[in-house]
Amino acid sequence: MLRYNRIIIGFILIILCIPLQGSDLKKVNQMNDGEIAALQLTIFSEIYWRDVVKDLDAPVMAIFDGSRIRMTIFGGRDNAEGARETIMNYMAGLQTDFFPYLEENFDVKLELDDFKIIYRNRLTKKMKIILIYEDGEYKIP
Per-residue pLDDT reduced to its tens digit, 32-56: 888 888 888 888 877 766 655 555 5
By C-alpha distance, which of 27, 28, 6 is closest to 17?
28
Domain span at residue 125 reads 31-139
CB-neighbour burial class of residue 106 (10 A; exposed 0-12, middle 13-18, buried 19+): middle
Instruction: Determine, yes or no, domain membership for 111.
Output: yes
Model pLDDT, residue 38: 87
What pLDDT score was predicted for residue 8? 53
Average pLDDT, the chain: 79
Residue 57 and residue 112: Cα distance in Å, rounded?
Answer: 23
Domain assignment of residue 9, yes or no: no
Residue 3 lies in a domain: no
Query: Does residue 35 lie in a domain region?
Result: yes
Residue stretches of the chain with pLDDT short of 50? 1-6, 9-26
**CATH number for position 71:** 3.30.300
What pLDDT is attached to residue 62?
Answer: 92
Q: Is 40 domain-assigned?
A: yes
Q: What is the pLDDT of residue 52?
A: 57
| Count of the separate structural domains present in the chain | 1
54 residue type, one letter: K
Task: Write the CA distances from 29 to 13, 15, 23, 24, 32, integer angstroms.
Answer: 18, 17, 11, 9, 10
Per-residue model confidence (pLDDT) at position 95:
93
Q: Does residue 46 lie within any of the structural domains? A: yes
- Residue 95 covered by a domain: yes
Q: Evaluate whether residue 73 is within a structural domain.
A: yes
Residue type, 27: K
Reported pTM: 0.73
